[in-house]
A = this chain, B = another copy of it.
Amino acid sequence: MFLKNTWYVVCSSSDLTDKPLGRTICNERMVFYRDEHQHVAALEDFCPHRGAPLSLGFVKNGQLHCGYHGLVMGCEGRTVAMPGQRVKNFPEIRTFAAHEQYGFIWVWPGDPARADTALIPHLEWHNNPAWAYGGGLYHIQCDYRLMIDNLMDLTHETYVHANSIGQPEIDETPCETSVDGDRVVTSRRMYNIPAPPFWRMALRGNGLADDVPVDRWQICRFTPPSHIMIEVGVAHAGHGGYDAPDSHKVYSVVVDFLTPETETSMWYFWGMARKFKPDDAELTQSIREGQGKIFSEDLQMLERQQQNLTRHAGRRLLNLNIDAGGAHSRRVIERLLKTD
């Protein structure tokens, strides 16, 4: 149910310090650390000596030491040394391809030989002075595909996020969904509507009037395995909407990386990259807090939905037009799973 030969986000770069980090991804317990060149290594979180988790150990001179009896594990999964032992014949442990790029640590849970860092999605806003970024992480007890459904159908904003980004015009405006190979896009454009509270805050943050009609857009882009970038924003009405000049709009990309933990749990990396007032750190913090609060409103719904689906396994659900984005994304995953 999840692709393994692909890149998933493990954590943000700053979360991997000089200590090892343990994390379960696609049902595999992994340990991550930085070697002597600060390159990221990823291994099975299992010491070949007695099965202790290596993530309880420590890193010294770029080498991972088991915290139980001091076995030194190499980034190739072969034991390098252990006090008083000949380690040549120690069994190997699994390794995973890992890579640091665009401010995140990425892992390829499948065959390391097939891992190609060129396949890591390009994040143009990273280290780009025209952009600012802020984000966070939620651990959610649901199948990651329920979150794909959620993000590829933003009509839920009207109900789940009624006081921040929801507004009835979302429901009233049909979305358009298209598929291009492995990519799915579902988009909605609304014209001459009031701006909801979150976007009023953003307009003010960009020095723009917040009490005039706006044009609003939502362009959700799914790429496998489960990355969803959503172009969002509002422009003062009548200046071209999505294509309005920067001086009349607020433009952002909602960044969503969904990393499966188990069949019914996931890591949700969320964030927002914006293309206005990139140097305003206070604004970055306001947006991050606002977004964190909004996105937390989905958690209970998703976890309770998962419980319902677990109780009623096999029960048929509806696939409406609004679900087309999620349905097509799931179909892409299904197709890719056949050759994964």
For residue A321, CB closer than 8 A to chain B, the reply is: yes
* A257-281 with Cβ < 8 A to chain B: none
Residues of chain B with a CB closer than 8 A to A316's CB: 91
In the complex the two chains form, is B83's CB within 8 Å of A49's CB?
A: no
Smallest beta-carbon distance A278→chain B, Å: 34
| Chain B proximity mask over A282-319: 1 for CB below 8 Å, otherwise 0 | 00000000000000000011001101110110011110
A69 engages B317 (CB within 8 Å): no
- The answer to whether A153 and B315 have CB atoms under 8 Å apart is no
A110 at the interface (CB under 8 A from B): no
Bound CA span A84–B308, Å: 25
CA distance A317 to B66 in the complex (A): 15
Q: Which of A155-163, A244-252, A328-336 contacts B (4 or more CB under 8 A)?
A: A155-163
Cβ of A309: which chain B residues have Cβ within 8 Å of it?
Answer: 51
| B90–A318 CB distance below 8 A | yes
Given A29-B311, A171-B84, A172-B83, A68:B317 Cβ within 8 A:
no
Q: Is the CB of B51 within 8 A of A305?
A: yes
Docked-complex contact B301 and A45, CB < 8 angstroms: no
Question: Is the C-beta of A65 less than 8 angstroms from some C-beta in chain B?
Answer: yes
- A56-B304, A304-B56 as given contacts; A51 in contact with B317, CB under 8 Å: yes
Chain A interface residue count, CB cutoff 8 Å, equals 51
B residues in contact with A29, CB < 8 Å: 308, 311
Residues of B near A317 (CB, < 8 A) are 48-51
- A323 lies within 8 A of chain B by Cβ: yes
Q: How far is the CB of A50 from chain B (nearest CB, A)?
A: 5
Give Cα A49–Cα B305 distance, bound, in whole angstroms: 11
Does A322 touch B at the CB level, under 8 Å?
yes
Residues of B within 8 A of A84 (CB): 155, 171-172, 174, 321-322
A to B CB contacts below 8 Å, 21 in the list: A29-B311, A45-B308, A46-B308, A48-B317, A49-B318, A50-B305, A50-B317, A50-B318, A52-B301, A52-B308, A65-B159, A68-B160, A69-B156, A69-B159, A70-B159, A70-B171, A82-B320, A83-B155, A83-B171, A85-B321, A85-B322
- Report A's interface with B, CB cutoff 8 A: 29, 45-46, 48-53, 56-57, 65-70, 82-85, 90-91, 149, 153, 155-156, 158-160, 168, 171-172, 174, 300-301, 304-305, 307-309, 311-312, 315-318, 320-323
Top 5 A-B residue pairs of the complex, sorted by shortest distance between their CB atoms: A83-B171, A51-B308, A53-B304, A52-B305, A51-B309
